[in-house]
């Protein structure tokens, strides 16, 4: 598992994974349903990218996000009709 503490570290890790899988930036963008510019910005460590799209890229690379050091919670994976802030 890779420990990520900055946007730059995330970008570097995702670039490494993409290259390890033999994918170009356009191929990854297509697989994740994002634009090539998004992949370029993500790999450059841009800190203001949309989390939903970052997660799509991670999923397209076969990865997943795991949080450590935080209290455990039951994850409610509802996509619509969630009680945000309730």
Rounded Cα–Cα distance for residues 39 and 11 (Å): 9
For residues 10 and 75, give the distance between their C-alpha atoms in angstroms, rounded to a whole number.
23
The pTM score is 0.81
Question: In a structure prediction context, what are the per-residue pLDDT tens digits for the chain, which is 86 residues long?
Answer: 778 999 999 999 999 999 999 999 999 999 999 999 999 999 999 999 999 999 999 999 999 999 888 888 776 666 554 444 54
* Cα–Cα distance for residue pair 33/25, rounded to 1 Å: 12
Top CATH class of 7-60 equals mainly alpha
Domain boundaries, the chain: 7-60
In 3D, which of 73, 14, 69, 71 has the Cα closest to residue 46?
14
| CA–centroid distance for 58 within its chain | 4
């Amino acid at each position: 598992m890779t420990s990520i503490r900055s946007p730059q570290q995330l970008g570097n890790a995702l670039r490494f994974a993409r290259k390890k899988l033999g994918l170009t930036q356009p191929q990854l963008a297509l697989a994740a349903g994002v634009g090539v510019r998004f992949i370029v910005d993500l790999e450059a460590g841009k800190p203001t990218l949309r989390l939903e799209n970052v997660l799509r890229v991670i999923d397209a690379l076969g990865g997943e996000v795991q949080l450590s050091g935080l209290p455990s919670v039951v994850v409610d994976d509802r996509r619509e009709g969630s009680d945000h802030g309730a």
